Amino acid sequence: MDVALVSDTHVPSRAPEIPRWVRERVRAADHTIHAGDFDSAPALATFEDVATDLTAVGGNTDYGLGLPRVATVELGGVEFVVTHGDGGPPGYEQRVAETVREHAGDGLTVGVAGHTHEVLDTTVGGVRLLNPGTATGAGPATRVSMLTVRVTDGTLTVELHEGE
């Protein structure tokens, strides 16, 4: 199972569109997780159109899109708990890990969050956290990024993809 992880697209407030290479990777994935801050209904519609299957949460700029604050999805024997994240940098990882713990089941669980626009792959208090950065390079980021995750028999292989 191939999973595309994206976040913080901020279209149109900080970027005019989703980059073509991001759309192509999303289209090729078996499932896509978006950790919020689409920024508009058209940006959400883009992902609904190109993703084979989509799990998405709302971020702090996703007013009126009707997205949940937290979502869980089981993919290939791994439960993904998705939240946007909030607040300033101090304590971000601990806040996200706590949200993941609150919503996790009994099996292998991975947290996916956005908000910071910075790529992250770390473990906090036994919880693995992934942040794909920003799929459009929205400031304050200095790069366009996303992650893909290959899930095989409950194990993860995470790959970073960067563009212009």
Q: What digits encode the pLDDT tens for the residues 35-80?
A: 999 999 999 999 999 999 999 999 999 999 999 999 999 999 999 9
Task: Considering the domain delimited by 2-163, tell me its CATH architecture.
Answer: 4-Layer Sandwich (3.60)
3-state helix, strand, coil split of the chain in percent (to 5) is: 20, 35, 45
Residue 34 has pLDDT above 70, yes or no: yes
pTM: 0.95
User: Residue 146: its pLDDT value, please?
Assistant: 97
Q: Which residues, listed in sequence order, are joined to residue 75 by a DSSP beta bridge?
A: 78
Q: How confident is the model at residue 164 (pLDDT cuts 50, 70, 90)?
A: low
Q: Could you report the per-residue pLDDT of 93-150, keeping only the tens digit for each?
A: 999 999 999 999 888 899 999 999 999 999 998 899 999 999 999 988 889 999 999 9
Sheet strands side by side (includes 70-75): 70-75, 78-83, 109-112, 127-132, 119-124
Under a CB-based contact definition with an 8 Å cutoff, are residues 160 and 142 in contact?
no
Alpha-carbon distance of 35 to 45, in angstroms, equals 15
Mean of all residue pLDDT scores within the chain: 94
Under a CB-based contact definition with an 8 Å cutoff, are residues 49 and 17 in contact?
no
State how far the alpha carbon of 88 is from the alpha carbons of 92, 94, 115, in Å: 7, 12, 9
